Chain A
Amino acid sequence: MGSTSEFNRRDLVKRAAALGIVAVPSMGVLSACAGGGDSGDNKVEKGKKSAKNPLAVNDSAGLDVVIFDGGFGDKYAKDAQGEYIKSFPKADGKVKLSSTQKIQSTLQPRFNGGNPPDLVDNSGAEQMDFGTLVGKDQLTDLTALLDAPSVDDPDKKVRDTLRPGVVEMGQFGGKETWILYYAYTVYGVWYSKGNLAKLDAEYPETWDDMLALCAKAKKKGVAGWTYPGKYPYYFPFSLYPFIAKIGGEEVLRKIDNLEPNAWKDPAVKAAFEAYYELYKKGYVLKGSPGLDHLQSQKAWAEGKALFIPNGSWVENESAKQIAKNPHFDLAVGAPSSLSTSDKMPYGTIWASGGEPYIVPRKARNAEGGMELLRIMLSKKSSQNFIKQVSSLTSLNGGTEGLKLPPGLASAQAVLQKAGQNIVNPRMQDWYVALQKERIGVGALGEMMAGRMTPDEAIKKIQKYADDTRDDSSVKKYKR
């Protein structure tokens, strides 16, 4: 090929190709978020209201449900869907239930385009931000559902069959209830009674006992604690109720309200220092900062560590590994008492709703979505859920006549012991980025890996909280 002409074929092809590869990939990222239009009002007609159909569901309309397929799977929802079809046989074949782990990337375009599903289990790592959904008026108020009679007892409203606090959790400062939490999760320090018995120990109710037990375990080559270092925001599951126990519930309330210097409270420092001591004395399983949740749960289930901060889904998630040790006997413990001057009694624990269900504002068949929720909150469907995934539901009671697996039985006992002393910090549903990434990965993880002292961690977290308060793009809440 001659190159006397100033025009060079290879040059042109190369430049075009280079431009193409430069522009295309970067645009792929951006164009993925192109917004759609509002496709207007296309709701189905309401059906006839009756005792059997209090929400006036159109019995022949389709229903579109999207379930988060995580620790609990999706079978319980499919079973409830079967019940729905029993009530509305004409809807058979038009009820669509899909499950995914990628809630946000699946649903965001649909919300944006104005054709969301009728019921969504908005959960998991890709949870859509509730603050934004509520703030942008994308959800249906569930008050109609809460005021409808329950499936089991027509004289009782759904509202009155729920566990305390569940309705409030679904509200955002107003009267409307936007979210219904279906599961009921107990957070705390999870352990194996069998593994503790091997050390002649029971769950330590004071922090001194905790340290003594960890020292004893260390001599036998067993670590006291492990945690998912890749997701250090598991620590709050036992750390936040620990803070509340030491300094009282209002410390957590101030933290949730992003009040200035909320994190500088002495109770926070005391709790952080107690946990930091676990690291300093070498009671934390080596390598924990590099483990993800499944890896740390595996190490814990294999008996390499005694305690792990976690929630009640761990029984289902680690079922296979736990089953390998017939004497495991899973249990959950409330935070140990730091001293006798703690403001709240031993037994104070974090329990709150999990698996948040929402009915989008632009759902075609919002009544159907709520009706499915009403069916799920019946005793039959609740028990089905409990049996399948060993977690409680928001339906109060409902466990009568069921043989509970050890972890769930322990959670139930812990709840009973806690009585009124149940705390419910809201950071993780109000300020997801602050809780998970900034406080969790940016400070708690660093502190527990020994790269930051408690004082430094508190200073950093306070700055993160202040930044969030001053960030006008984040919607704020008060409780």
Chain B
Amino acid sequence: MKHGKYRFIAGFLVLPLAIYAIFVISPFVQAIYYSFTDWTGLSPDMKMVGFDNYARLFKDDVFWSAVGNSVTLLLLLPVVTLSLGIFFAFMLNVGGRRRKKAVIGGVRGSGTYKILYFFPQVLSVPIVALLFQFAYNPESGALNAFFQAIGLGNVQPDWLGDPQIALWCVMAAMVWANVGFYVVLFSAGMSSIPKDFYEAALLDGANRFNTFFRITLPLLWDTVQTGWIYMGILALDVSAFAFVQIMSVGPGGPDYSTEVLPLYVYQKTFRDGQAGYATAIGVSLLIVTLVFSAIVMRLGRRERLEF
């Protein structure tokens, strides 16, 4: 059994691997090739320039602020989104008052809350971004109107127009758009945890805090880890691009305070006609992504519980 194992698996994987190689690996290799050229993206002729594009990256301030912002998103977005997701899911499934017959249960009206949390998920990203943009409008937006209404008329931030808080504003929208999905994901994860664990814990007099940290979180760890990687990719990729592109000043501003790597790739390719340089940025984005997932996999490695 042991020897035939890998051949057996490979047999099943031939087709998917071939598709993967054609549609994923080959553009990958091509992109690395293009990153060594002076390709403009507007005409097929180009010549090799060696490491020029990479040398330029090191001196490019905008690139470094994009790296900084992307890494900030990468570190904070999963933490915030997943913590909120777990917290809400816990409250919905386990955190409620004990009722007759049921050992554990959610807070009152948890069914309704589930729908509410999931609601942003059915809206497309541009719509969420636009909604938040309206709310952030310093002149007639909901947020400043709210401050006015509660008597804080002199607190009127420029939100997206202020480099100190612009990135946080974008991040808040991204959290809002994604947290619902994790509530549902973690709810599913929690429902597969055997009820008798909770029963035993409650008999021993554990409070909510202890049930959460001693039972729920450890048994949910696999789901958290998957969610973490998924959220990290989102922070580096499509989602960050769409939100920043639609919401931010410039976009990417003010003063590059919301510039992120995928947006910079896009600007260099489609605005400045420097596709070769853009692919070099893309390759560095890939490196950041790989490093991130390697770190998460390593940190997240734990003894697996079977139940």
Contacts of A287 in B (CB 8 A): 137-139, 144, 156, 158, 161
With a CB–CB cut-off of 8 A, which chain A residues contact B45?
136
Q: How many residues of A contact B (CB 8 A)?
A: 68
- Which of the segments A24-32, A157-165, A267-275 contacts the partner chain? A24-32
Complex formed: what's the CA distance from A231 to B254 in Å? Answer: 9
Q: How large is the interface on B (under 10, 10 to 19, 20 to 34, 35 or more residues)?
A: 35 or more
A437 in contact with B289 (CB, 8 Å): no
Q: Taking the complex as formed, is A118 at the interface, i.e. its CB lies under 8 A from any CB of chain B?
A: no
User: If the complex has contacts A26-B282, A445-B254, are A432 and B271 also in contact, measured as CB distance less than 8 A?
Assistant: yes
Contact with A along B259-293 (1 / 0, CB 8 A): 00010011101111111011100110110011001
Instruction: Choose among B42, B159, B163, B297 the residue with the greatest number of A CB atoms under 10 Å from its CB.
Output: B42
The CB with the most chain B CB atoms within 10 A, among A28, A33, A34, A446, is that of A33
With contacts A1-B306, A132-B273 taken as known, whether A27 is within 8 angstroms of B24 at the C-beta atoms is yes
Cβ–Cβ contact B139 & A295, under 8 A? yes
Given A3-B304, A33-B279, A132:B42 Cβ within 8 A = yes
In the assembled complex, B90 has its CB within 8 A of some CB on chain A: no
Among the listed stretches B77-85, B174-182, B209-217, B229-237, which one makes contact with chain A, having 4 or more residues with CB under 8 Å of it?
B229-237
Chain B interface main SS type: helix
Contact call A229/B249, Cβ cutoff below 8 A: yes
* Chain B residues with CB under 8 A of A138: 42-43
Contact A433 B138 (CB under 8 A): no
Q: Chain B contacts of A3 at CB under 8 A?
A: 304, 306
The answer to whether the Cβ of A80 comes within 8 Å of any Cβ in the partner chain is no
Closest to B304 in A: A3
Q: Which of A127-162 contact B (CB under 8 A)?
A: 128-129, 131-133, 135-138
Q: Would you list which residues of chain A between 1 and 33 have a CB under 8 Å from chain B?
A: 1, 3, 7, 12, 14, 17-18, 20-31, 33
Question: Which one of A21, A128, A231 lies within 8 Å of B273 (CB-CB)?
Answer: A128
Pairwise interchain contact A442-B233, C-beta atoms closer than 8 A: no
Q: A108 — which chain B residues lie within 8 A by C-beta?
A: 41-42, 269-270
The answer to the question of A45 belonging to the interface, with a C-beta cut-off of 8 Å to chain B, is no
Chain A 247-290: CB-based contact to B (< 8 A → 1; otherwise 0): 00000000000000000000000000000000000000111111
The answer to whether A442 touches B31 (Cβ under 8 A) is no
Question: How distant is B234 from chain A, measured CB to nearest CB, in Å?
Answer: 8
Select A31's contact among B27, B137, B159, B283, beta carbons within 8 Å: B27
Shortest B23–chain A CB gap in Å is 8
**Contact between chains at B293 and A129 (CB < 8 Å):** no
Cα A137 to Cα B20 with chains together (Å)? 37
A residues less than 8 Å from B283 (CB atoms): 30
Q: Chain A residues with Cβ under 8 A from B41's Cβ?
A: 33, 35, 108, 112
Give the chain A neighbours of B140 by CB distance below 8 A.
295, 299
Cβ–Cβ contact A286 & B139, under 8 A: yes
Residue from A30, A229, A442 within 8 A of B279 (CB atoms):
A30
- Is B46 engaged at the interface, CB distance under 8 Å to the other chain? yes
Q: Are B249 and A289 in contact (CB under 8 A)?
A: yes
Interface residue B172 (Cβ < 8 Å from any Cβ of A) = no
Most buried by B among A28, A287, A446: A287
Which 7 interchain pairs have the tightest Cβ spacing?
A: A287-B138, A31-B27, A289-B161, A290-B161, A132-B273, A30-B31, A441-B253
Binding site for A on B (CB under 8 A): 5, 9, 20, 24, 27-28, 30-31, 34, 38-46, 56, 133, 136-140, 144, 156, 158-163, 222, 226, 229-230, 233, 236-238, 248-250, 252-256, 262, 265-267, 269-275, 277-279, 282-283, 285-286, 289-290, 293, 297, 304, 306
Can you identify 14 A-B contacts, CB atoms within 8 angstroms? A3-B304, A22-B290, A24-B24, A27-B31, A30-B28, A31-B31, A33-B269, A35-B41, A133-B273, A285-B139, A290-B161, A437-B253, A442-B255, A451-B255
